[in-house]
Structure 1
Amino acid sequence: MPTALLPPGPKGHFITGNLVPFSEDPLGFLTRCAREYGDVVRLGKSNYLLAHPDLIEKVLVNGEGHFVKIAGHEARKRSQVGFPEAMMNSEGEDWLRKRRFVQPAFHRKYVAACGEKVISLTEHLLDSWRPGEPRDIYGEMSELSLDIVSRFLFHTPIHDEARHVAAAVDAIMRLTGSPFRFPMWMPTPTNVRLRRSLRKLDTVLAGIVRRYRERPGEPQDLLGILLSAEQTLSEEQLRDELATMIMSGHGTTADGLVWTTYLLAQHPEVQARLVAELDEVLDGRVPQAEDLPRLRYTEAVVKESLRLYSPAWITSREAIRDCELGGFHVPAGTTLGVSQWVTHRDPRYYEEPEAFRPERWLDESIKQLPKYAWFPFGGGPRLCIGAPLAMLELVLITACVARRFRLELAPDCVVRPRPALALQPVGVRILPHPRAIRSGTGSLPREVSA
């Protein structure tokens, strides 16, 4: 191909490159790079950052077949940390076959049917809230989302095993949150904790599968689909698929719920408008999945939260052949990073990009946004398979919480984002205050029982 220019970027240290500034502040470093150097930034010899929505679309949609998510997949399976047999860790025809296989479990009728369970579990949690009592909102939302996703995937709660799942998720988050990774055979504290957590997770998932097989006539959920495969899946394949679905289905959703709660607690005017919509649409009753089309401002709150604090804050693809992006040469083997954090806060696409303004999603001008100026669930063929379920949870749970409580941040909490595998909210503590809500029978408003 004709010689093309290499993109600009920070020079970095002659030995460590840009590893130190990235590891110290990934979010700030990537944002500064995009604002200073443009839409294609060379972060290192084989690492580029893409910031323009059109380039992000080109890479994620991958219509020309230049890019893969996991290069050298088969060769890396033996050494990969985590769950190499799972769909999300697969590539090419192997990924496509697995995606088609599990897709029926995420049919819209099953997602919609999950709404009732989302509401009942959320209301049960809110019944335990006491006026003005600080809540560990991350722990509570994590348990709630884990309960929801387990019932969706295999129609059973995993209360007793939840702490082992949470431990495995946390260990993997800590591993991926560090730019320095020792080989798994080295007995570092992180590696020891990770191996222990994964062994516990194996035991938990084996028990779930065993109990599931003992119950006849189960609904068509993910585990039922996996167990009904014409070609019997190995225990490793079952484990990997279930583990990744549980971890991605509850971890990122919990992060999104906490970030939304955090933003609402800081903006009483947004809470007021949200409650006005809930009073008008619900008239005092609990929300249902059927209400979602009318809860437009509630959805806007969630979308704005996902814009500012998308749990998926960065993803990447690898070029498998030389190509050109944005007028710059991309050699084969280059890792191309696309960051929701960077592009979602780009002032070219969002007025006051750092401000929490849900009303922007109700403005007609939002239709003029480039398609990939907002991509919290990724995009292209590998768009998150659980995106509809995640949005249903986020909107319904937000509606339940705001309907019953006015939220404040605890005065002593210091909140920061931790960019690991997902963008985790650290330090969020909430003070809930019961609201007077409309009765629904035409009577005077009543205080919600707390």
Structure 2
Amino acid sequence: MTTTTSATARQVPELTGVPLLGSLLDLKNDSLGTFLKARRDHGDVVRITAGPPGARATVHCVFSAEGAQQVLATDAANFRKDNAFYQEIRESFGNGLLTSQDGDYLRQRRLVQPLFTRRSVDGYAAAVATEVTRLTDGWRTAGHGSVDVVHEMAGLALRAVARILFGTDVDEAVGIVERCFPVLGDYVSRRGYAPRKLPRSWPTPVNRRAATAHEELYAVCDRIIAERRAAGTDGADGGGDGEDLLSRLVAASDGADGFDAGELREQVLVFLLAGHETTATSMGFALHLLARHPEVQRRAHQELDEVLGGRTPGAADLDALPYLTRVLKEAMRLFPAAPAIGRRAVEATEIGGYAIPAGADVIVAPWVTHRHPRYWDDPERFDPERFTPEREAERPRYAWFPFGGGPRACIGQHFSMLESVIALAMILQRHELEAIDTHVPLGSAITLQALGPARCRLRPRTAREG
């Protein structure tokens, strides 16, 4: 672990802000654009300050692929999830696999890992297909001529992960999550970036709304977990080997070192949070990009017709759909679900020749690195051919890192790819899409957010036999 600075280490350049507030308003109004401006004006390591004197926060932004690899992988032990943002997630959603550290994280990962092997995840394909069929049948029944694909994919991803987690209890859980997650997500984002914040215990309207949402989420998870434990782990319809994921989590908790009821709830909430918002973003923007680029959509249709011939795709088909997979990867490059990833430096170190002090908040930003001209020609252009095996091999490992990286890389990345490819394939088998909204305004909370509609016209399509 490189945790020293040399005599030649340079001072990190600072993004120029206004005298009293620094870059506070820029970050509040357009954090993604502010990060891009910081790299363009000052390079790959930039310091950004925000807030008035006495309540000022400073972050060190790292934009190169090599710097991202150092923070997330090479020197991961020196960059921890100790910042204010992760603390807010812990307090709202619990100390599950996304936020835990040290011994807690290693124990949780050991207990959960068997549920996310490739074989286990492949068993969830049928649950995904069930929810995609439900969605597209609903479009046809309702006679929808157009849909907001980002919004629709949010609903699909939530139902899919809830079915995989809860099996037949999916409907009740989905309703509560749809109502409560946006409240808590906005609450976490506002508090995580605020230089100063009121205690959660104060009975302000915002605190009370968040507390109510928190209690509702905990209550439904606790009830379903208690019922599942009382009934035993008889299989439901959500997961691999005939069981939903919660049944398998309960079974994994039967030993002396298993999860107690509170820990089970925290894992469930993190799976719901991380397992639906990120995948929904990838699927929604992939569909919108396809709708805006008919030549790419035609090629994807051709691949689907040749490989599937109208049948429902399964896990075994993923390797046979390389072009659709490249489309998805390019969508994840342009619209990474986690546009910025935060850490805190334990000890002083260097990144790219710049001195990073001990205790510094550090951000690596897929949103910026995925657009870095050093790794991507014409970076704003949608081009799935960037992800042929040959071109992938030419780039640094962390030029593309939508799932994070290193020892804390997303445990669910294979599930996300499986769900996304199956969903895109099934939707494209039944529909041609044409973009109505060609520009979608964006913002960033816990994940990348569409701030306006991403509507597409739907035209019924019958897949041709391969």
Do both proteins adopt the same fold according to a TM-score greater than 0.5, normalized to the shorter chain?
yes
Structure 1 residue identity aligned to 2:178: A
- 2:299 is equivalent to residue 299 of structure 1: no
The alpha-carbon distance between structure 1 residues 72 and 46, as it changes in their structure 2 partners (threshold 3 A), is: closer
The Cα shift of 1:183 comes to: 3.0
Determine the structure 2 residue equivalent to 1:212: 228
The residue type equivalent to 2:147 in the other structure is R
Counterpart Cα distance in 1 of 2:182 and 2:422: 26
Name the counterpart of 1:228. Answer: 254
For 1:63 and 1:336, the matched residues in 2 are separated by 13
Partner of 1:419: 444
Q: Aligned to 1:93, which of 100, 103, 114? A: 103
The answer to whether the aligner puts 1:345 opposite 2:336 as a matched pair is: no
Residues 1:225 and 1:328: Cα distance change in structure 2 (over 3 Å): farther
CA distance in 1, matches of 2:94, 2:108: 13
For 1:146 and 1:197, locate their aligned partners in 2 and report how far apart those are by CA, in whole Å: 17
The letter for the 2-side match of 1:184 is R
Deviates more, 1:32-41 or 1:202-211: 202-211
* CA distance in structure 2 between the partners assigned to 1:245 and 1:276 by the alignment: 34
Label 1:236 to 1:224 Cα distance change in 2 as closer, same or farther (>3 A): closer
Residue-by-residue CA offset, 1:348-388 (whole Å, 9 max, x unaligned): 11111101111221262331100000000000000001110
Does residue 15 of the first structure (1) align with residue 20 of the second (2)?
yes
Alignment CA distance shift 1:102-1:64 (3 Å)? closer
AA aligned opposite 2:415: L
Superposed displacement of residue 2, structure 1: 4.1
Indicate yes or no: 2:42 matched with 1:37: yes
Q: C-alpha deviations, 1:80-121, integer Å up to 9, x for none?
A: 531343122111122112111111111111111111221222
CA distance in 2, matches of 1:144, 1:79: 24
Match of 1:445? none
| Residues 171 and 190, structure 1, Cα contact 8 Å, conserved in 2 | no
Displacement after TM superposition at 1:158 (Å): 1.6
Aligned partner (choices 159, 163, 185) of residue 201 of structure 2 = 185
- Counterpart residue identity of residue 192, structure 1: R
Counterpart position of 2:134: 124
Q: Give the drift of 1:155.
A: 3.4
- Return the letter of the residue paired with 1:115: A
- Going from structure 1 to structure 2, the CA distance change for 1:83 and 1:177 (only over 3 Å counts) comes to closer
Report the more deviating stretch, 12-21 or 415-424.
12-21
Cα pair distance change 1:67/1:225, threshold 3 Å: farther
Match of 2:218 among 199, 202, 216: 202
Taking structure 2 as the reference length, what is the TM-score of the superposition?
0.87
Question: CA offsets per residue over residues 228-256 of structure 1, 9 Å max, x none?
Answer: 24246444322211111111111211122
User: What's the TM-score, normalizing by structure 1?
Assistant: 0.90
Q: Distance in 1 between matches of 2:385 and 2:48?
A: 35
Deviation string for 1:325-355 (max 9, x for gaps)? 1111111010110111100011211111101
Residues 80 and 109 of structure 1: is their aligned pair in 2 closer, same or farther, counting only changes over 3 Å?
Answer: closer
The one-letter code of the counterpart of 1:396 is I
SS of 2:138 mapped into structure 1: coil
CA contact (8 A) 1:105 1:225 kept: no
CA contact (8 A) 1:223 1:242 kept: no
State yes or no: 1:259 paired with 2:285: yes
Within 2, Cα distance between the matches of 1:80 and 1:206?
17
Q: Please give the secondary structure, in 2, of the residue aligned with 1:311.
A: coil
Give SS of 1:160's match.
helix
Number of matched pairs: 437
1:60 aligns with 2:78: no
Q: Structure 2: how far apart are the matches of 1:125 and 1:243?
A: 24
Find the counterpart in structure 1 of residue 359 from structure 2.
333
Structure 1 residues 389 and 171, CA gap change in structure 2 (3 angstroms): same
Question: Which aligned pairs between 1:348-427 and structure 2 lie closer than 5 A?
Answer: 348-362=374-388, 364-410=390-436, 415-426=440-451, 427=453
Overall identity of the aligned pairs, in %: 34
Alignment of 1:240-279 (within 5 A): 240-279=266-305
Instruction: Describe the SS at the equivalent of 2:250.
Output: helix
Q: Which runs of 5+ in 2 are unaligned?
A: 50-56, 235-242
Q: Alpha carbon RMSD of aligned pairs, Å?
A: 2.4
Code of the aligned partner of 2:113: Q
> Is residue 25 of structure 1 aligned with residue 30 of structure 2?
yes
Higher helix share: 2
Per the alignment, in what secondary structure is the counterpart of residue 339 of structure 2?
Answer: coil
Q: Secondary structure at the match of 2:358?
A: coil
1:414–1:301: structure 2 CA closer, same or farther, 3 Å change rule? closer
Closer, same or farther in 2 for the Cα pair 1:145/1:132, shift >3 Å?
closer
Conserved in 2, the CA contact under 8 Å of 1:132 and 1:433? no
Is the contact made by 2:225 and 2:261 (CA closer than 8 Å) also made in structure 1?
no
Q: Provide the C-alpha distance between the structure 1 equivalents of 2:209 and 2:303, rounded to a whole number of angstroms.
A: 46
- How far off is 1:223 after superposition? 2.6
Residue 433 of structure 1 aligns to a residue in which SS? strand
Aligned partners of 2:150 and 2:285 also within 8 Å: no
Unmatched 5+ stretches in structure 1: 441-450
Residue matched to 1:448: none
| Paired letter, 1:35 | R
Instruction: Report how far residue 301 of structure 1 moved.
Output: 0.6
SS at match of 1:355: coil
Distance 1:357 1:7, change over 3 A: same
Tell me the distance in 1 between the aligned counterparts of 2:162 and 2:318: 23
State the alpha-carbon separation in 1 of the partners of residues 13 and 87 from structure 2.
34
Cα 1:240–1:216 change in 2 (3 A) is closer
Q: Distance in 2 between matches of 1:282 and 1:262?
A: 23
* 8 Å Cα contact 2:132/2:156 also seen in 1: yes
